[in-house]
Structure 1
Amino acid sequence: MSARIYQRPKNAMQSGKALTDQWILEFEQSEARKADPLMGWTGSGDTQAQVQLCFSSKEEAVAYATKYGIAARVHATPSKTLKIQAYADNFK
């Protein structure tokens, strides 16, 4: 059972930064998805892939994974760069 730990990204559809300080422990899929012959929906028998655990810090998520013997990989948060630009720069 393996998992990945990452920080929740900012929602691209909104300008707010709510819930971006949370860290997520998400289990990886252990079996491939397959199409249902009747409805055409994709699914699998892996219920762990539906689980997302939220933590307030990276250390808490890593401690949880080590306590329960989960092989977890931590994905680093990319640095945020701001491009400071004035509206008048569009017309240069």
Structure 2
Amino acid sequence: MAARIYQRPKNAMQSGKARTDEWVLEFEQSEARRPDPLMGWTGSGDTQAQVQLTFESKDEAKAYAERYGITARVHATPPKGLKLQAYADNFR
């Protein structure tokens, strides 16, 4: 079982930062998705890909993965930069 651990990014559609401090352990797909012949929907028999576990810190997520023998890759969070720009800069 392979998984990835990452920090949830900020939603691009809203200005709020709710749930951005959570760390997520998400299982990778072990089976390819295929279209259903009758309806055309894509799906697979892999139920682990639907599971997302949330933790308050990266260390808790790593400890959980080690406890249950899950090989997990930790994706680093990119630095959050603040781009200050004035309205007048649009006309330079």
Structure 2 letter corresponding to 1:51: V
Q: Quick one: distance in 2 between partners of 1:3 and 1:52? A: 10
Residue pairs, 1:17-56, within 5 angstroms = 17-56=17-56
Q: Which runs of 5+ in 1 are unaligned?
A: none
Output the aligned Cα RMSD: 0.6
* TM-aligned CA deviation for residue 48 of structure 1: 0.2
Q: Quick one: distance in 2 between partners of 1:91 and 1:30? A: 51
The aligned counterpart of 2:16 is 16
The aligned counterpart of 2:7 is 7
* TM-aligned CA deviation for residue 88 of structure 1: 1.6
State the secondary structure of the residue aligned to 2:20: coil
State the secondary structure of the residue aligned to 1:12: coil
* TM-aligned CA deviation for residue 86 of structure 1: 1.0
* TM-aligned CA deviation for residue 71 of structure 1: 0.2
Structure 2 letter corresponding to 1:79: P
Q: Which runs of 5+ in 2 are unaligned?
A: none
State the secondary structure of the residue aligned to 2:32: coil
Q: Quick one: distance in 1 between partners of 2:68 and 2:11? A: 30
- Number of residue pairs aligned between Structure 1 and Structure 2: 92
Stretch deviating more after TM superposition (61-70 or 77-86): 77-86
Q: Quick one: distance in 1 between partners of 2:91 and 2:2? A: 51
